[in-house]
Every structure is written in structure tokens, then in C-alpha cells.
């Protein structure tokens, strides 16, 4: 009798131990099968919340990032509604070496011709954050600048290559508007060696003119540098930007992990931004 | 017996309060006078710290840097501001800004060659020590940022968030160091990692929040970044 109870007890203990050790994976998979949180949009889904709002594309983590850098037309909607003005913008001089502030240069007149489909430039980090604040109010969803890590992850698109477009630097002009043959024609006084290919654009290109990366994102490198939400190396009076611009000739600027940074007030005629829409809780 | 017990009790209870006062009067040495010198007319005025290290009483000024630029034909190019156009008005007595670590190093080497003394950039630890002036609070003047103590963001001076202030516009610390924190971040000789691709900067700038002026704060950057919040302070061994 006693032996039977002991056996039953031992069996119960063994069952309990088995459930504890082996039951967890079942519990986990059951949770995966029936998620309790909100359903995430499938990666690659495009969302546009108003006529002049930037299109964002969903990422595997549920956030969505601008399909393109914010365009001049999109920025104009904000500028008109809020009476935004911001003059004083760094412009590279004809020699390709010196940068001077154009006191009257701004996003409407950066120093070269643009249409509403071109990426907005001559916007500081302060200007860009005002834009995303406005966009958040307008749409009722939070929008912000991506962090450096988010921007890099979106650029590399799950890959491991040196460039957002792959490992082959020779293909750069198919994907990125860089300091190339067309640029050299526009800036004959620039003695720096340019990229030996032709992307057909001497200044900024209309967004989406070249090929996208694996996540369907355009201009993740080249065209314009893009502000991030990240402070620079311990100093939050500076912010980081990455991506490389239409006037950069050195390949280094277009590597996925390359970044630069400057004061949050600084504007440049090769520097714009891209928005990020965090995953909704 | 009762008297003895009372005496012992009195010493135990009250003696503790008396003894520090005695110690203060009896054992504190008078503060040593500042020892200062200048190795050349366009050199920084130096002050000798208790450790026998001499440190610039102020950051290197724009006027002092201009002598170097004239003598060596120094030029900057590429992205960003330059020391002659820092985006806000400056006088020759303002600290030079828009200098990268590489620019600072060139300046230091020129001063060393010009004077024959081993000038260099301070290490992060030397910067901290000199800035604290023997104090141990958040700032050399106390625990809170106070008003008009240094040039930083929201720190109560006319230069708040505008730009640099002429050097020595604020009171010096106990070591006789002006602009010990605030005004411009000071490049240090301390590398972030063994590869030395980045160096630390110390002290906070006119654009920094008060927390960045504490001795524990530091930032770092690549050797070719030049921002209008970065500057230079010199050190040299006082005995050589």
C-alpha cells in the first residue's frame, strides 16, 4: 500500500518535472500561435497617412521608415501651415573643398534647381524635429527621426554587405546618387577623384530615381545625408547623420556604418532627413 | 570619582565638536601663491599645479592661434566650420574653435618647437584635476551650477547658447584656472581605445547643458571633426 502511494507520488513528481522542463517550449509556441498583442503589419507594407505625408514602409520589427527621404513638396506642406522659415545653409564651393554658410540659402533656394520630388535639404536637426512633431500631430501617430541604429538596420536590410546595395562598389551608380561623372561635369573645379560611373545626376535627384535596397527603401545611401535622432558620442548638442550625399566622391561615405555629425542648428545643401513611425503598442 | 566620570562624559560628548575646530586653526597651511609664467609673447599664460604640471590658465585664444596660422600657412578644408568663421561673432580674446584634434596637435607641436618646451594636450585626468581646483563637488564652485559661473546653456551669462565668451570672463578656480569648464570643450591627449582613432574632450561648451560641465562628463570624437564648440588648452611639465 505504502509502496503504491510512493510510486504514485514519484510518477506525479516525474510528470511535474517533465512539464516544467519540457512544457515551456510548448507554452512559448502556443503564445506565438495566438499572439495577445496587436497584429504587426507584414514587412514591406507601404503606409501613407495623408496626401502630403511621407510614405513609410513597415520593417520586420513593426516600425515603419520613410520609403524616401522627406521631399521638398512634403516639407512645403509643413512650412506653409506653420509659417516655417530657416535661412543660413552651408554650401560647398566650386573647388569641392571649402564650405561656407550662404546667409540667404534655405530649403527653397539651396543653391541649385530642385522640384517638389527632390529631397528637402538645408534643414537642420532642429528643423527636422519640428517637422516630425507637426507630422505626428497631423496624423495622430508618433513620427520621429530614426536612431543611428535604426537607420543602419534599415539600410543594411538584413544583409551583411559593406554597402546598402551590396558588396560590389562598382554598381554604386545604379543605387546611389553620388559624386560621379555627372557631378564632375557640374563641378569642374573640384579636383577630387570622382566615382568612375554615371548616375545621371549632378545635384540632388528626384527621390526614387535609382534602385531600392532589399527592404524596398530608396536613397538609403547617396542623394542626401540624413539626420538621425542619435546624439554624437556623448554630446547631445550634436546629432549624427549618415548616408552620404550627391557631392561626396570618396567611397568611404557610402559604407553602411559610416556616419558623420554636427551641431543641431547646422544646415547643409547636401543634408536632409527621413522619418520613422515606431511600432504602435 | 563623580567628577572624573563627568569629565570623561564631557570629553566624549563635547570633545568631538571641539576638536575639528582646533584642527582647522592649528594645522591648515596657508594657500600657496600662484606660480605663473609665459614662454613667449603669443604663448598661453601657464600656471603651475600642485602636481608640478603647468597648464594654460585659459584655453588658447583665437589671436594666439592666428599667430600660428600666419607662421605656418595653416589651412582647413572640407565639410564644416573653420576657425576664422565659427558661425557667431568672436574677438581675438575668445577661445579658438572649429579646431579638430589634428589641428590642435599641429598647434601644440608648433608651440613646442617655438619655445623648446615639451608642450602637449592634457590627458583627460589632468584636465579633470586642473578643472576641479582641489574640490570634490560636481563643479569646482559647488554642487549646483549656480548663476554666471561659466559659459554654458542656461547658466546665467550673456553668452548662454550664443557662442564663446572672451577667455577669463568668469572667476578662476582655486588653482588659478579660468574657463576650467564651459566655453569650449577641450581636446585631450587621451585616446578612447587603443587604436587611438578617437580622443576624449573635456569640460563642456557654451552650447552644453550644465550636466556636461561636471568633471565626470566627457565626450569623444574622431580626430578630424571640428565643431564650433571644440577648443584647445595646453600643458607642459613645469620643470623642463
pLDDT of residue A15: 47
pLDDT of residue B93: 98
Of B78, B209, B227, the CB nearest to A97: B78
3-state secondary structure B146-196: CCCCCCCCCCCCCCCCCCCCCCCCCCCCCCCCCCCCCCCEEEEEEECCCCC
pLDDT of residue B4: 64
CB contact under 8 A, B208 and A98: no
Closest CA to A274 of A77, A126, A132: A132
Closest CA to A147 of A159, A155, A137: A155
ipTM computed for the complex: 0.77
CA dihedral B94, B191, B119, B176 (to 10 degrees): 50
pLDDT of residue B8: 63
Contact at 8 Å (CB) between B64 and B104? Answer: no
Q: Nearest-CA distance from B175 to chain A in Å?
A: 27
**Average pLDDT for runs of 10 along chain A of length 281:** 57 51 42 46 89 97 97 98 97 95 97 98 98 97 97 96 95 98 98 97 98 97 98 94 98 96 96 96 69
Q: What is the pTM of this model?
A: 0.82
Cell of B232: 584647445
Q: Nearest-CA distance from A172 to chain B in Å?
A: 22
pLDDT of residue B160: 87
Name A135's Cβ contacts closer than 8 Å, sequence gap at least 6: A53, A54, A78, A143, A275
- What residue in A sits closest to B152 (Cα-Cα)? A237
> Chain B interface, mutation test: which of A99, A102, A192, A235, most B Cβ atoms within 10 Å?
A235
pLDDT of B24 higher than 60: no
First to last CA, chain B: 66
- What residue in B sits closest to A236 (Cα-Cα)? B208
Q: Nearest-CA distance from B240 to chain A in Å?
A: 35
CB contact under 8 A, B78 and A101: no
Which residues face A239 on adjacent strands?
A231, A262
Of B77, B217, B227, the CB nearest to A263: B227
pLDDT of residue A247: 98
pLDDT of residue B5: 67
Give the pLDDT mean for B150-156.
95
- pLDDT bracket for residue B22 (50, 70, 90): very low
- pLDDT bracket for residue B30 (50, 70, 90): low
Q: Nearest-CA distance from B197 to chain A in Å?
A: 13
Query: How many residue pairs bridge chain A and chain B with CB atoms within 8 Å of each other?
Result: 46
Q: Nearest-CA distance from A240 to chain B in Å?
A: 12
CB contact under 8 A, A262 and B229: no
Q: Nearest-CA distance from A92 to chain B in Å?
A: 8
Of A104-108, A190-194, B14-18, B156-160, the poorest mean pLDDT is in B14-18
First to last CA, chain A: 57
* Percent of chain B clearing pLDDT 70 (strictly above): 87
Contact at 8 Å (CB) between B89 and B164? Answer: no
pLDDT of residue A3: 56
DSSP state, residue A163: B
pLDDT of residue A224: 98
pLDDT of residue A208: 97
Q: What are B164-183's pLDDT values in tens digits?
A: 999 999 999 999 999 999 99
pLDDT of B3 higher than 80: no
Query: In chain B, helix, strand, coil percent, each to 5?
Result: 25, 15, 60
pLDDT of residue B166: 98
pLDDT of residue A26: 41
Residues of chain B with C-beta less than 8 angstroms from the C-beta of A239: none
CB contact under 8 A, A262 and B207: no
CB contact under 8 A, A235 and B219: yes
Query: In chain A, helix, strand, coil percent, each to 5?
Result: 30, 20, 50
Residues of chain A with C-beta less than 8 angstroms from the C-beta of B79: 90, 92, 99, 260, 268
Chain B residues within 8 angstroms (CB to CB) of chain A: 77-81, 85, 87, 153, 185, 198, 205, 207-209, 212, 217-221, 225, 227-229
- pLDDT bracket for residue B26 (50, 70, 90): very low
CB contact under 8 A, A261 and B205: no
Of B212, B220, B228, the CB nearest to A263: B228
pLDDT of residue A40: 60
Of B80, B208, B219, the CB nearest to A233: B219
- pLDDT bracket for residue B161 (50, 70, 90): confident
Residue carrying the nine cell digits 545604379: A174
- What residue in B sits closest to A270 (Cα-Cα)? B79
Q: What are B77-123's pLDDT values in tens digits?
A: 999 899 999 999 999 999 999 999 999 999 999 999 999 999 999 99
Count other C-beta atoms under 10 Å from residue B106's C-beta.
Answer: 16
Chain A residues within 8 angstroms (CB to CB) of chain B: 90, 92, 97-101, 232-238, 260-263, 268
pLDDT of residue A280: 81
Give Cα separations from B39 to B42, B44, B111, B118, B127 (angstroms): 8, 8, 9, 11, 21
- What residue in A sits closest to B78 (Cα-Cα)? A97
pLDDT of residue B10: 57
Q: What are B127-146's pLDDT values in tens digits?
A: 999 999 999 989 999 999 99
Amino acid at each position: 500500500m505504502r509502496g503504491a502511494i510512493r510510486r504514485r507520488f514519484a510518477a506525479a513528481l516525474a510528470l511535474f518535472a517533465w512539464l516544467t522542463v519540457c512544457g515551456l517550449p510548448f507554452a512559448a509556441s502556443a503564445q506565438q500561435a495566438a499572439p495577445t498583442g496587436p497584429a504587426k503589419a507584414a514587412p514591406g507594407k507601404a503606409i501613407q497617412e495623408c496626401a502630403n505625408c511621407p510614405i513609410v514602409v513597415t520593417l520586420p520589427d513593426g516600425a515603419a521608415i520613410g520609403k524616401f527621404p522627406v521631399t521638398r513638396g512634403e516639407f512645403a506642406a509643413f512650412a506653409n501651415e506653420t509659417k516655417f522659415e530657416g535661412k543660413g545653409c552651408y554650401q560647398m564651393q566650386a573647388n569641392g573643398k571649402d564650405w561656407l554658410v550662404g546667409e540667404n540659402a534655405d530649403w527653397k533656394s539651396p543653391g541649385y534647381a530642385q522640384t517638389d520630388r527632390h529631397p528637402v535639404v538645408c534643414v537642420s536637426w532642429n528643423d527636422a524635429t519640428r517637422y516630425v512633431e507637426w507630422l505626428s500631430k497631423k496624423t495622430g501617430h508618433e513620427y520621429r527621426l530614426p536612431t543611428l541604429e535604426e537607420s543602419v538596420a534599415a539600410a543594411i536590410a538584413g544583409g551583411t554587405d559593406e554597402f546598402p546595395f551590396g558588396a560590389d562598389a562598382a554598381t554604386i551608380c545604379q543605387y546611389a546618387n553620388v559624386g560621379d561623372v555627372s557631378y564632375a561635369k557640374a563641378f569642374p573645379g573640384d579636383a577630387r577623384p570622382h566615382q568612375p560611373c554615371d548616375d545621371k545626376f549632378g545635384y540632388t535627384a528626384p527621390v526614387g530615381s535609382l534602385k531600392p535596397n532589399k527592404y524596398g527603401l530608396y536613397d538609403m545611401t547617396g542623394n542626401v545625408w540624413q539626420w538621425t535622432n542619435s546624439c554624437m558620442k556623448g554630446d547631445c548638442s550634436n546629432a549624427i547623420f549618415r548616408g552620404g550625399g550627391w557631392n561626396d566622391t570618396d567611397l568611404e561615405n557610402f559604407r553602411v556604418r559610416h556616419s558623420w555629425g554636427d551641431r543641431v542648428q547646422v544646415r547643409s545643401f547636401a543634408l536632409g532627413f527621413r522619418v520613422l513611425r515606431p511600432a504602435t503598442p | 570619582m563623580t567628577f572624573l566620570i563627568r569629565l570623561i562624559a564631557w570629553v566624549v560628548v563635547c570633545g568631538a565638536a571641539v576638536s575639528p575646530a582646533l584642527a582647522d586653526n592649528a594645522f591648515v597651511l596657508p594657500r600657496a601663491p600662484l606660480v605663473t609664467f609665459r614662454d613667449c609673447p603669443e604663448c598661453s599664460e601657464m600656471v603651475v599645479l600642485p602636481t608640478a604640471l603647468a597648464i594654460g590658465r585659459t584655453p588658447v585664444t583665437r589671436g594666439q592661434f592666428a599667430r600660428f596660422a600666419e607662421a605656418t600657412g595653416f589651412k582647413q578644408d572640407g565639410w564644416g566650420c573653420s576657425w576664422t568663421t565659427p558661425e557667431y561673432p568672436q574677438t581675438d580674446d575668445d577661445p579658438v574653435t572649429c579646431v579638430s584634434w589634428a589641428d590642435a596637435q599641429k598647434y601644440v607641436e608648433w608651440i613646442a618647437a617655438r619655445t623648446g618646451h615639451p608642450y602637449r594636450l592634457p590627458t583627460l585626468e589632468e584636465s579633470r584635476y586642473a578643472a576641479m581646483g582641489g574640490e570634490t563637488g560636481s563643479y569646482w564652485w559647488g554642487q549646483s551650477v549656480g548663476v554666471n559661473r561659466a559659459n554654458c546653456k542656461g547658466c546665467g551669462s550673456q553668452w548662454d547658447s550664443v557662442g564663446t565668451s572672451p577667455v577669463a570672463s568668469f572667476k578662476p578656480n582655486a588653482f588659478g584656472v579660468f574657463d576650467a569648464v564651459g566655453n569650449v570643450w577641450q581636446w585631450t591627449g587621451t585616446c578612447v581605445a587603443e587604436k587611438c582613432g578617437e580622443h576624449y574632450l573635456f569640460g563642456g561648451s557654451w552650447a552644453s547643458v550644465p550636466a556636461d560641465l561636471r568633471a565626470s562628463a566627457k565626450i569623444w570624437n574622431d580626430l578630424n571633426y571640428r565643431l564650433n564648440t571644440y577648443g584647445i588648452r595646453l600643458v607642459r611639465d613645469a620643470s623642463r
